């Protein structure tokens, strides 16, 4: 699992899981538009089916859409066939709505096993993790906690994980707004995960 990519430049990949969401995803887009940067959204098929226009908007603005499965299951509890189905069904929907296939994958709950790895190998998907798992933004631990645990993980080539889907994400949005402003002032650029992996900075 890839949590960071060695980089000589001040670049960072900020990622969002479990969207799209009609309230929070547009706020993320606004933050990154103002900062002149790009983010990566690991979207769930069930959510994309509900909000297809939001998927298109994210893609049109040049952000990356990664595969996060269709129903967000724990992949280690599925057969290899079911695991493959979850990934392929989501891949097809992303291609249909965004106009291109996803090239990065993050397993729900960061949970996987040997069968999952076999499926990903066949698809040539790199499996993306993150450095700031201690932020626990999905548990709504408070803006200060999210920021403190994330700041500790900021360095060239970091991949950071947040959530724009499921439940109240207002703490996450506030923390990301503050973080992006801070990092911009420090000279960081915000890039997609695949740009980071390919060194296309």
In this structure, what CATH number is given to the domain that contains residue 78? 3.20.20.370
Q: Is residue 82 part of a domain?
A: yes
Is 21 a residue whose pLDDT tops 80? yes
Is 10 a residue whose pLDDT tops 70? yes
Q: Return d(Cα 101, Cα 120) in angstroms, integer.
A: 14
Distances (CA, A) of 69 to 17, 35, 132, 182: 11, 29, 22, 32
Q: Is residue 94 part of a domain?
A: yes
Task: Tell me the percentage of the chain whose pLDDT exceeds 90.
Answer: 96
Is 123 a residue whose pLDDT tops 90? no
Radius of gyration of the chain (CA): 16
Q: Is residue 4 part of a domain?
A: no
Is 60 a residue whose pLDDT tops 80? yes
State pLDDT tens for residues 159-169. 999 999 989 99
Active-site annotation, residues: 17, 163
The per-residue pLDDT for 96 is 97
Which helix (H) or strand (E) element contains residue 144?
Answer: helix 143-151
Q: Is residue 46 part of a domain?
A: yes
Q: Is residue 6 part of a domain?
A: no
Domain limits for position 110 = 11-198
Query: Can you say whether the dihedral through the CA atoms of 172, 175, 181, 183 is positive or negative?
Result: negative
The angle subtended at Cα 187 by Cα 181 and Cα 192, nearest 5°, is 80
Distance of CA 168 to the CA centre of its chain: 17
Res. 199 pLDDT band, cuts 50 70 90: confident
Half-sphere exposure of 125 (CA within 13 A, CB side): 25
Q: Residues near 81 by Cβ (< 8 Å), separated by ≥ 6?
A: none
More confident residue, 123 or 17: 17
Confidence (pTM): 0.96
Q: Is residue 141 part of a domain?
A: yes
State pLDDT tens for residues 65-76. 999 999 999 999
Is 200 a residue whose pLDDT tops 80? no
Report how many domains make up the chain.
1
Q: Mean pLDDT for the chain?
A: 96
Q: Is residue 142 part of a domain?
A: yes
Res. 49 pLDDT band, cuts 50 70 90: very high
| CB 111, CB 69: distance < 8 Å | no
Q: Is residue 1 part of a domain?
A: no
Burial class (CB in 10 A: 0-12, 13-18, 19+), 73: middle
The per-residue pLDDT for 166 is 87
Task: Tell me the percentage of the chain whose pLDDT exceeds 70.
Answer: 99
What's the full length of the chain, in residues? 201
């Amino acid at each position: 699992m890839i949590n960071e990519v060695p980089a000589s430049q001040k670049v960072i990949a900020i990622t969002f899981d479990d969207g799209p969401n009609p309230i929070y995803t547009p706020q993320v887009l606004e933050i990154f538009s103002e900062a002149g940067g790009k983010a990566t959204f690991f979207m769930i098929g069930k959510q994309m089916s509900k909000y297809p226009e939001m998927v298109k908007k994210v893609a049109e603005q040049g952000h990356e859409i990664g595969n996060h499965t269709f129903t967000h299951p724990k992949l280690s509890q599925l057969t290899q066939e079911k695991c493959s189905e979850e990934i392929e069904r989501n891949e097809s929907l992303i291609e249909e709505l965004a106009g291109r296939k996803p090239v990065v994958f993050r397993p729900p709950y960061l949970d996987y096993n040997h069968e999952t790895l076999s499926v990903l190998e066949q698809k040539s998907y790199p499996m993306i993790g993150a450095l700031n798992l201690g932020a626990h933004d999905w548990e709504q631990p408070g803006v200060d906690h999210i920021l403190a645990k994330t700041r500790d993980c900021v360095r060239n080539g970091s991949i950071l994980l947040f959530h724009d889907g499921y439940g109240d994400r207002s703490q996450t949005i506030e923390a990301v707004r503050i973080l992006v402003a801070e990092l911009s002032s420090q000279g960081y650029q915000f890039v997609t995960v695949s740009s980071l992996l390919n060194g296309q900075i």
